[in-house]
């Protein structure tokens, strides 16, 4: 350690742009602090009381001045708002084709699952220069996945998928923190993010225990948990076929329609009665508490893989949009 | 204006302090001034406890692996530090102590509109405090003062219910105090005391009361529901049954963000009084400063979502809340500019209250400006939940609100106690607090930017240097807070007798004797002048 | 005390209107109006509230201060529900997730 | 004793901090209005939660709502509106200085409040019989189960939590109000209230009307979800 650290690493594509805004606000803060401090010091000396009976003239105020120092801060914060929001808005949606990694938070560890089935705990290996989208859920309380070097964080909620994305642009090992208080060993829910060259990442994926891919795991759970006995691929069972469902428009018994996404698939597993597909009876039991969030993620991945092909899904959405 | 009673104390010492004796005369009093003193003693007690917890935390954090306690204990320390400091010290500090003492005096009334209700508020506060102390003794609570579900409702097996009940009960104390102030300011002003003649302290107390009555009930019901969840697992804030943890956060922050303004607005009012008095000038832009208090109170209700930028709140709601959060910065900036301009061509003297007031402006400016990092979503994503947030709100709440409270205490102490305190020591303590404070909390800005999350019982070694600096500053700060405690207690017995108006201040409270008689004024005064009539012309008119 | 004393007849008329509105809202519940059932029920409740506030609570003869106080109360309630709802209602506005793809082309050469 | 204090002693019911009864009356009524605003926000927290979860799980809330007895709900609304009328008349009697009428109307208000709570208690009892009390006795079966199942049992439990939470909070306010009414009744019998001094009657009256207004909204929000056709 050399002296006192004052800046975290910049290791993602957005880190630099966030820092620029950070420096801008810092500059504004410094400017106004110095301005106020020096004016106060100047007045304190210049207008110090020279005799006990001194009575200064009353000054009521000045409208032009009030307008001036309302307008200037308004302009400055307007710039900050637009700047900060644009940056945030741009970064709120992952670019198409980002590779996806699943994260499950649990008191007090992070479980990471790569699409090829490689699993790790409290570590996250990612390839350099490739956008990565994290889909995250918690098994218990609220956690928060925070990578300071990437300038990103997002709460990991129980019962709901949250996602965020980043594109690492610097090799190295960086801190991973839980930034939402989650109980006794909150401070121990830390790990590291390891950015490696893409080919090294491929090698890493192949190394270690050669497990099944995430879809394969999902398919296995689909069979083991008995899903496949009702959800027959041809739709002849008591439950709708799941082939081609993901990304498609689903019609419900109450007349509503929705696009089948991760949240819908998850809800249908844990509280199947909430949204019943038109033409079917609410006979499915809830799997809440029987499947872990990791297993549900595997199932979601499997149902995605038998869903609409991506191009079709896009076209379909565009059609819906036109209507 | 009524004539000040300036008879020698030896002959006519009758005042609210010696009007009656014995514990019953205190515990059953309905005199707002005595109730203010009851509050003062109780919040000082809680401040010492909360401060002690903070001291232990800073001591613990000297070493990366934690020097003192187990992580579980550390979690309880910061939770109780937050709960006690916020609900049992900061929120009642200026309103319930200085506000209670001064509101009737400043408006020329004999008491608040509902004196019995006022006493009831104190008892409610004490009952809430006892629940909280019980929870601390019975094993503590480890949810953080924010009580986020589902951790607090389902997973924490500490004394969540006791502390929730404590906070719930104390909420009603705050509600009733706010109600009392609003009715009193509306209905009990002395003849001639129009809204635009009110001291700015009353404007800010009024704005504070609005937040207290509109925000606190939402906290009360939220905490109540939380306690039900913890006891019966009803699940509207927990996902097991389909409830939503973010719903809790929405309801919680609907109060808890405006609560920050409950702490800072009265301090701003105190600062306006002090600056006017010690520069012998009317506050520059009186009306604008007054209305900016109300603007802060109203806007403060619209910004709570900035605590939830990274929770998975909708992107669009985030944009709205970010925009509104920036808007709150503007009335705060206006206030700072107006205070600074008040000094222009003034006659500035440097007594202890003025040092506290100037310290307030400095620290509040820093605290307010660093708030912009957190209002801007892109930077907040990085800084949310880190030590940057901790540093920011301590600059506002400790650098701002506590500085304001101490400044006000120094300013009105002669009126409250009838005694003077040693000015040299007071100025020294103001300087020590200012230095100690900055040393404690400035490093935390850097820590936050580096990415150190808050509420960590142990941390990576590279953060150690800054943490040690912070802990060192905390020990200086602790000394700074001890000194006033000692000389205030000393002055109650040994301090020189204070005259009715030791600072040469305007305002009705200075026109009655020190300490005031139980009924405040012999005759209800008639007000014929604006607030802060310090100029020679206005002075001449008065005589 | 220059309090306005409402004639007995007013109270009785208001009471009869309130009862009628209660019967009306109950009756409407048995008619299918789709989502408008809720709207009508709340509109009727609002009318009933206004009757109680204006007549039983004498706000018809109260000063501006009381009126502002009441309006402020409901305004803040609307803020609480409205801004909270603003979050929930707009959550789905963000683009729906993309379907599965694990072979993303690297964006950096 | 100063002059003002002598005057104070002459005006019955005047507290020491006020100049005259008119100021006191103003402060008292304004005070209760402020208090009612805090009550709006207090109930508002639950209403906000209700609004969001009902929006999430409309079907479940609808199913739960249909298990409530709409006739009892409507009848209770009428009872409570009646008590509001008698309360308003009690205030009017105080204004015109009729002690007898005050006592009669206050008694009727108390009785109607009691009837309301009695019916409410019966409804609560029914929920225990049907085992649809969230977390304490949650085991719906038979037809009840069949009606709740479409919306999901967990979510129906949330509805019933809101049902008990909101009506319970309302009933608590009723009980407090009845305590205050009883106190008023004692004071009215003693002849405390005159056309010049009746602020306590008016203040309790405003509170009672507010509690009535809360019920005016609870009735459609809990009993009439999604209609009954």
D154 inside 8 A of chain A by CB: yes
Query: Mutate which of C35, C91, C94, C97 to test chain A, going by most A C-beta atoms within 10 A?
Result: C97
Q: Which DSSP symbol is given to B152?
A: I
User: Which residues in chain C are contacts of B320 at CB distance < 8 A?
Assistant: 83, 86
Residues with Cβ within 8 Å of B187's Cβ and at least 6 positions away in sequence, in order, are B113, D23, D26, D27, D30
Helix axis angle, B32-60 to B115-137, nearest 10°? 20
Mean pLDDT of chain B: 92
The C-alpha atoms of residue B336 and residue B146 are separated, in whole angstroms, by: 30
Q: Is C96 in Cβ contact with A98 (below 8 Å)?
A: no
User: Which residues in chain B are contacts of C88 at CB distance < 8 A?
Assistant: 314
Three-state DSSP state, B76: helix
Distances (CA, A) of A163 to A154, B377, C87, C94, C106: 7, 17, 17, 12, 20
Q: Is B316 in Cβ contact with C93 (below 8 Å)?
A: yes
Instruction: Please name which of B498, B492, B490 lies closest in space to residue B411, comparing C-alpha atoms.
Output: B498
Name the closest residue on chain A to residue B318, using Cα atoms. Answer: A85
Quickly state the pLDDT bin for D153 (edges 50, 70, 90). Answer: confident
Ranges C100-109, D44-53, D177-186: which has the least confidence:
C100-109
**Domain extent for A240:** 214-322
115-144 of D, contacting C, C-beta below 8 A: none
Distance from CA of C4 to the nearest CA of A (A): 43
pLDDT for the residue A210: 60
Same structural domain, C70 and C31: no
Report ipTM for this prediction. 0.90
Residue C103 forms part of a structural domain: no
Residue C107 forms part of a structural domain: no
Ranges B146-155, B160-169, D82-91, D148-157: which has the least confidence:
D148-157
Q: Which listed CATH number (1.20.210.10, 3.90.1170.10, 3.40.50.1000, 3.10.20.740) goes with B33-542?
A: 1.20.210.10
Where is A126: in which H helix or E strand?
Answer: strand A123-127
Dihedral of the CA atoms B219, B222, B226, B229 (nearest 10)?
170
Q: Is C87 in Cβ contact with B246 (below 8 Å)?
A: yes
Residue A2 forms part of a structural domain: no
Same structural domain, A84 and A105: no
User: Which residues in chain B are contacts of A188 at CB distance < 8 A?
Assistant: 71, 458
Phi and psi at B63, nearest 5°, equal: -110, 145
A177 inside 8 A of chain B by CB: yes
**Interface residues from chain C to B (CB-CB < 8 Å):** 65, 72-73, 76, 79-80, 83-84, 86-91, 93-94
Same structural domain, C11 and C53: yes
The C-alpha atoms of residue B151 and residue C7 are separated, in whole angstroms, by: 57
Instruction: Name, of B232-246, B403-417, C32-46, D11-25, the range with top average pLDDT.
Output: B403-417
User: Which residues in chain B are contacts of D34 at CB distance < 8 A?
Assistant: 179, 182-183, 213
Q: What is the mean pLDDT of residues B209-216?
A: 95
The tens digit of pLDDT for each residue in B472-514 reads 999 999 999 999 999 999 999 899 999 999 998 999 999 999 8
Q: What is the mean pLDDT of residues B22-28?
A: 91
Name the closest residue on chain B to residue C84, using Cα atoms. Answer: B250
The tens digit of pLDDT for each residue in D160-170 reads 999 999 999 99
Residue C1 forms part of a structural domain: no
Quickly state the pLDDT bin for C97 (edges 50, 70, 90). Answer: very low
User: Which residues in chain C are contacts of A198 at CB distance < 8 A?
Assistant: 106
User: Which residues in chain C are contacts of B213 at CB distance < 8 A?
Assistant: none
Instruction: Please name which of A320, A271, A304, A296 lies closest in space to residue A104, comparing C-alpha atoms.
Output: A296
Residue C2 forms part of a structural domain: no
Where is A132: in which H helix or E strand?
Answer: strand A132-138
Q: What is the mean pLDDT of residues B318-335?
A: 94
User: Which residues in chain B are contacts of D53 at CB distance < 8 A?
Assistant: 236, 242-244, 247
pLDDT for the residue D11: 56
Residue A54 forms part of a structural domain: no
Q: Is A273 in Cβ contact with D152 (below 8 Å)?
A: yes
Q: What sign has the CA pseudo-torsion C43, C44, C46, C47? A: positive
Phi and psi at D194, nearest 5°, equal: -130, 165
Structural contact between residues D11 and D20, judged by C-beta atoms closer than 8 angstroms: yes
Mean pLDDT of chain C: 83
Instruction: Please name which of B416, B439, B421 lies closest in space to residue B352, comparing C-alpha atoms.
Output: B421
DSSP track, B226-237? HHHHHHH---SS
Structural contact between residues D116 and D32, judged by C-beta atoms closer than 8 angstroms: no
Q: What is the mean pLDDT of residues B344-361?
A: 94
pLDDT for the residue D117: 97
Query: Mutate which of A160, A256, A263, A274 to test chain D, going by most D C-beta atoms within 10 A?
Result: A274
User: In which order are the strands placed within the sheet that holds A172-178?
Assistant: A123-127, A191-196, A172-178, A143-147, A152-156
The tens digit of pLDDT for each residue in B253-303 reads 999 999 999 999 999 999 999 999 999 999 999 999 999 999 999 999 999
Determine the distance from the C-alpha atom of residue A305 to the mean position of all C-alpha atoms in its chain, rounded to a whole number: 22
Q: Exposure string (b/e) for D3-41, b if CB count within 10 Å is 16 or more?
A: eeeeebeeeeebbebbbebeebbbbbbbbbbbbbbbbbb
Q: Is D151 in Cβ contact with A273 (below 8 Å)?
A: yes
Distance from CA of D96 to the nearest CA of C (A): 8
Q: A310: buried, middle or exposed (CB in 10 Å: 19+, 13-18, 0-12)? A: middle
pLDDT for the residue C109: 32
pLDDT for the residue B33: 95
pLDDT for the residue C102: 39
Q: What is the SS3 string spanning chain D? A: CCHHHHHHHHCCCCCCCCCCHHHHHHHHHHHHHHHHHHHHHHHHHHHHHHHHHHHHCHHHHHHHHCCCCHHHHHHHHHHHHHHHHHHHHHHHHHHHCCHHHHHHHHHHHHHHHHHHHHHHHHHHHHHHHCCEECCCEECCCHHHHHHHHHHCHHHHHHHHHHHHHHHHHHHHHHHHHHHHHHHHHHHHHHCCCECCECHHHHHHHHHHHHHHHHHHHHHHHHHCCCCCC
**Domain extent for C25:** 7-57
pLDDT for the residue C107: 40
Residues with Cβ within 8 Å of B472's Cβ and at least 6 positions away in sequence, in order, are B439
The tens digit of pLDDT for each residue in B425-457 reads 999 999 999 999 999 999 999 999 999 999 999
**Interface residues from chain B to D (CB-CB < 8 Å):** 104, 109-115, 175, 179-180, 182-184, 186-188, 213-218, 220-222, 225, 228, 232-236, 240-244, 247, 250-251, 254, 519, 522, 524
Q: Is C90 in Cβ contact with B315 (below 8 Å)?
A: yes
Instruction: Please name which of A264, A300, A315, A309 lies closest in space to residue A100, comparing C-alpha atoms.
Output: A300
Q: Is D225 in Cβ contact with C38 (below 8 Å)?
A: yes
Instruction: Please name which of B78, B36, B89, B83 lies closest in space to residue B56, comparing C-alpha atoms.
Output: B78
Residues with Cβ within 8 Å of C30's Cβ and at least 6 positions away in sequence, in order, are D227, D228, D229
Residues with Cβ within 8 Å of B168's Cβ and at least 6 positions away in sequence, in order, are B128, B220, B223, B224, B227
B353-356 long-range contacts (CB < 8 A, ≥24 apart) are B353/B274, B353/B277, B353/B278, B353/B407, B353/B408, B353/B410, B353/B411, B353/B503, B354/B274, B354/B275, B354/B278, B355/B426, B355/B427, B355/B430, B355/B431, B356/B274, B356/B403, B356/B404, B356/B406, B356/B407, B356/B410, B356/B430
β-sheet bridge partners, residue A12: A168
Domain D41-223 fold is 1.20.120
Residues with Cβ within 8 Å of A79's Cβ and at least 6 positions away in sequence, in order, are none
For residue A41, the number of C-alpha atoms closer than 13 Å in the C-beta half-sphere is 7
Same structural domain, C25 and C48: yes
Distances (CA, A) of B252 to A285, B147, D51: 35, 9, 16
Distances (CA, A) of B210 to B320, B502, D227: 23, 33, 39
Same structural domain, A223 and A272: yes
Query: What are the pLDDT tens digits along chain A (323 aa)?
Result: 456 777 889 999 999 999 999 999 999 999 999 999 999 999 999 999 998 888 888 888 889 999 999 999 999 999 999 999 999 988 888 888 888 899 999 999 999 998 888 889 999 999 999 999 999 999 999 999 999 999 999 999 998 899 899 999 999 999 999 999 999 999 999 999 999 999 999 888 887 666 778 888 888 888 888 888 888 888 778 888 888 888 888 888 777 788 888 888 888 888 887 788 888 887 888 888 788 888 888 888 888 888 766 555 444 445 444 44
User: Which residues in chain B are contacts of D159 at CB distance < 8 A?
Assistant: none
pLDDT for the residue B86: 96
Q: Which DSSP symbol is given to B303?
A: -
Total of domains in chain A: 3
Instruction: Please name which of B247, A135, D152 lies closest in space to residue C88, comparing C-alpha atoms.
Output: B247
Q: How far apart are the first and last CA of chain A?
A: 61
User: Which residues in chain A are contacts of C105 at CB distance < 8 A?
Assistant: 97
Q: What is the mean pLDDT of residues B520-527?
A: 90
Pick from B344, B370, B375: CB nearest A43: B344
Distances (CA, A) of B397 to A57, B262, D133: 34, 10, 44
Structural contact between residues B302 and C77, judged by C-beta atoms closer than 8 angstroms: no
Q: Is B115 in Cβ contact with D158 (below 8 Å)?
A: no
B313 pLDDT higher than 50: yes
The C-alpha atoms of residue B110 and residue C65 are separated, in whole angstroms, by: 23
Interface size between A and B, measured as CB pairs under 8 A: 292
Where is A138: in which H helix or E strand?
Answer: strand A132-138
Whole-model pTM? 0.92
Of residues C92 and B222, which shows the higher confidence score?
A: B222
Helix axis angle, B464-494 to B403-417, nearest 10°? 10
The C-alpha atoms of residue B129 and residue B116 are separated, in whole angstroms, by: 20
Q: Is A153 in Cβ contact with B372 (below 8 Å)?
A: no
Distance from CA of A137 to the nearest CA of D (A): 20
Interface size between A and D, measured as CB pairs under 8 A: 19
Quickly state the pLDDT bin for C94 (edges 50, 70, 90). Answer: low
Total of domains in chain C: 2
Strands A99-106 and A132-138: parallel
B494-500 long-range contacts (CB < 8 A, ≥24 apart) are B495/B417, B495/B419, B495/B420, B495/B421, B495/B422, B496/B419, B496/B420, B497/B9, B497/B418, B497/B419, B497/B420, B498/B414, B498/B415, B498/B417, B498/B418, B498/B419, B498/B420, B499/B6, B499/B414, B500/B4, B500/B5, B500/B6
Q: What is the SS3 string spanning B93-139? A: HHHHHHHHHHHHHHHCCCCCCCHHHHHHHHHHHHHHHHHHHHHHHCC
B224 pLDDT higher than 50: yes
Instruction: Please name which of B320, D161, D154, D182 lies closest in space to residue A274, comparing C-alpha atoms.
Output: D154
The tens digit of pLDDT for each residue in B149-174 reads 899 998 988 999 999 999 999 999 99
The C-alpha atoms of residue B78 and residue D164 are separated, in whole angstroms, by: 35
A205 inside 8 A of chain C by CB: no
Domain ranges of chain D: 41-223
Determine the distance from the C-alpha atom of residue B32 to the mean position of all C-alpha atoms in its chain, rounded to a whole number: 19
Same structural domain, A123 and A173: yes
Interface size between A and C, measured as CB pairs under 8 A: 57
């Amino acid at each position: 350690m050399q002296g006192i650290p004052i800046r975290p690493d910049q290791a993602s594509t957005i880190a630099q742009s966030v820092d620029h805004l950070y420096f801008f606000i810092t500059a504004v803060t410094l400017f106004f602090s110095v301005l106020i401090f020096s004016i106060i010091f100047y007045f304190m000396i210049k207008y110090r009381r020279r005799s006990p009976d001194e009575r200064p003239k009353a000054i009521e105020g000045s409208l032009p001045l009030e307008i001036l120092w309302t307008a200037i801060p308004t302009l400055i914060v307007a710039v900050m708002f637009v700047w900060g929001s644009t940056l945030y808005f741009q970064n709120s949606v992952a670019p198409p084709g980002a590779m996806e990694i699943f994260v499950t938070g649990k008191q007090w560890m992070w479980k990471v699952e790569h699409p090829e089935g490689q699993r790790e705990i409290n570590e996250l290996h990612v390839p350099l220069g490739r956008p990565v989208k994290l889909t995250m859920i918690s098994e218990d309380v609220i956690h928060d996945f925070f990578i300071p070097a990437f300038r990103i964080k997002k709460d990991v909620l129980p019962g709901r998928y949250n996602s965020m994305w980043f594109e690492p642009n610097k090799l190295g090992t960086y801190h991973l923190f839980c930034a939402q208080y989650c109980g006794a060993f909150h401070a121990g829910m830390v790990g590291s993010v390891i950015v490696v060259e893409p080919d090294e990442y491929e090698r890493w994926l192949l190394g270690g225990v050669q497990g099944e891919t995430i879809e394969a795991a999902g398919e296995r759970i689909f069979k083991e948990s008995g899903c496949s006995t009702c959800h027959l691929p041809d739709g002849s069972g008591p439950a709708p076929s799941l082939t081609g469902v993901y990304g498609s428009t689903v019609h419900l018994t109450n007349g509503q329609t929705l696009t089948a996404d991760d949240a819908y698939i998850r809800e249908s597993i844990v509280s199947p009665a909430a949204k019943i597909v038109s033409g079917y009876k609410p006979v499915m039991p809830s799997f809440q508490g029987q499947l872990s969030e990791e297993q549900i993620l595997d199932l979601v991945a499997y149902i995605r893989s038998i869903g609409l092909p991506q191009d079709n899904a896009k076209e379909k959405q565009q059609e819906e949009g036109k209507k | 204006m009524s004539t000040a009673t300036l008879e020698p104390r030896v002959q006519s010492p009758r005042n609210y302090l010696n009007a009656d004796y014995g514990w019953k005369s205190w515990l059953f009093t309905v005199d707002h001034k005595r109730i203010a003193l009851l509050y003062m003693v109780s919040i000082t007690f809680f401040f010492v406890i909360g401060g002690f917890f903070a001291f232990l935390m800073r001591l613990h954090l000297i070493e990366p692996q934690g020097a003192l306690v187990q992580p579980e204990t550390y979690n309880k320390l910061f939770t109780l530090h937050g709960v006690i400091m916020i609900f049992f010290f900061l929120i009642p500090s200026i309103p319930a102590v200085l506000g209670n003492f001064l509101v009737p005096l400043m408006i020329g009334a004999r008491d608040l509109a509902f004196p019995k209700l006022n006493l009831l508020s104190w008892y409610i506060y004490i009952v809430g405090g006892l629940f909280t102390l019980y929870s601390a003794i019975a094993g503590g609570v480890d949810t953080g003062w924010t009580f986020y579900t589902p951790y607090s409702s389902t997973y924490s097996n500490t004394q969540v219910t006791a502390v929730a009940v404590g906070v719930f009960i104390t909420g009603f104390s705050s509600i009733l105090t706010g109600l009392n102030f609003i009715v009193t300011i509306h209905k009990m002003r002395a003849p001639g005391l129009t809204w635009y003649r009110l001291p700015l302290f009353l404007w800010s107390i009024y704005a504070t009361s609005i937040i207290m009555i509109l925000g606190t009930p939402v906290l009360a019901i939220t905490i109540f529901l939380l306690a039900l969840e913890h006891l019966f697992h009803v699940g509207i804030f927990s996902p097991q049954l389909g409830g939503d943890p973010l719903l809790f956060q929405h309801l919680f922050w609907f109060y808890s963000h405006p609560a920050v303004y409950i702490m800072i607005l009265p301090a701003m009012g105190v600062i306006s009084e002090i600056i006017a008095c010690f520069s012998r000038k009317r506050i520059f832009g009186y009306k604008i400063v007054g209305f900016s208090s109300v603007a802060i109170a109203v806007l403060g209700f619209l910004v709570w979502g900035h605590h939830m930028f990274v929770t998975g709140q909708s992107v669009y709601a985030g944009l709205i809340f970010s925009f509104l959060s920036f808007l709150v910065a503007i009335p705060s900036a206006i206030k700072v500019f107006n205070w600074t301009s008040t000094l222009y061509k003034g006659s500035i003297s440097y007594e202890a209250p003025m040092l506290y007031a100037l310290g307030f402006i400095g620290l509040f400016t820093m605290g307010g400006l660093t708030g912009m990092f957190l209002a801007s979503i892109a930077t907040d994503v990085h800084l949310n939940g880190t030590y940057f947030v901790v540093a920011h709100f301590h600059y506002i709440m400790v650098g701002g609100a506590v500085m304001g409270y101490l400044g006000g205490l120094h300013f009105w102490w002669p009126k409250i106690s009838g005694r003077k305190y040693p000015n040299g020591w007071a100025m020294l303590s103001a300087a020590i607090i200012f230095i100690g404070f900055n040393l404690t909390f400035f490093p935390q800005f850097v820590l936050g930017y580096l990415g150190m999350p808050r509420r960590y019982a142990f941390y990576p070694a590279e953060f150690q240097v800054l943490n040690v600096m912070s802990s060192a500053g905390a020990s200086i700060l602790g000394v700074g807070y001890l000194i006033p405690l000692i000389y205030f207690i000393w002055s109650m017995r040994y301090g020189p007798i204070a005259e009715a108006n030791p600072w040469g201040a305007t305002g009705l409270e200075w026109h009655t004797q020190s300490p005031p008689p139980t009924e405040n004024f012999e005759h209800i005064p008639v007000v014929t002048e604006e607030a802060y009539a310090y100029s020679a012309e206005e002075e001449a008119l008065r005589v | 005390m220059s309090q306005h004393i409402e004639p007995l007849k007013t109270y009785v008329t208001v009471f009869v209107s309130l009862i009628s509105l209660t019967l009306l809202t109950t009756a409407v519940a048995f008619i299918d109006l789709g989502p408008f059932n809720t709207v009508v029920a709340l509109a009727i409740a609002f009318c009933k509230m206004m009757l109680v506030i204006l007549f039983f609570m004498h706000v018809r003869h109260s000063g501006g201060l009381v009126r502002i106080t009441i309006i402020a109360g409901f305004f803040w309630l609307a803020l609480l529900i409205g801004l909270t709802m603003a979050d929930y209602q707009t959550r789905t506005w963000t683009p729906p997730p993309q379907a599965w793809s694990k072979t993303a082309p690297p964006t950096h050469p | 004793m100063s002059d003002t204090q002598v005057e104070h002693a002459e005006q019955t019911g005047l507290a020491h901090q006020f100049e005259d009864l008119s100021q006191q009356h103003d402060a008292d009524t304004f005070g209760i209005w402020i208090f009612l605003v805090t009550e709006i926000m207090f109930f508002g927290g639950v209403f906000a939660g209700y609004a969001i979860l009902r929006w999430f799980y409309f079907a479940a809330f609808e199913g739960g709502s249909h298990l409530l007895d709409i006739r009892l709900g409507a009848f209770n609304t009428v009872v409570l509106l009646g008590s509001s009328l008698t309360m308003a008349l009690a205030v009017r009697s105080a204004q015109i200085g009729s002690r007898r009428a005050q006592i009669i109307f206050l008694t009727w208000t108390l009785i109607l409040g009691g009837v309301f709570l009695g019916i409410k208690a019966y409804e609560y009892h029914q929920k225990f019989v049907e085992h649809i009390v969230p977390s304490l006795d949650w085991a719906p079966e038979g037809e009840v189960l069949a009606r709740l199942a479409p919306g999901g049992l967990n979510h129906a439990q949330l509805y019933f939590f809101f049902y008990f939470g909101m009506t319970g909070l309302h009933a608590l306010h009723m009980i407090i109000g009845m305590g205050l009414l009883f106190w008023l009744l004692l004071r009215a019998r003693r002849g405390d209230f005159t056309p010049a001094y009746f602020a306590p009657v008016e203040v309790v009256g405003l509170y009672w009307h507010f509690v009535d207004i809360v019920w005016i909204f609870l009735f459609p929000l809990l009993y009439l979800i999604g209609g009954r056709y």
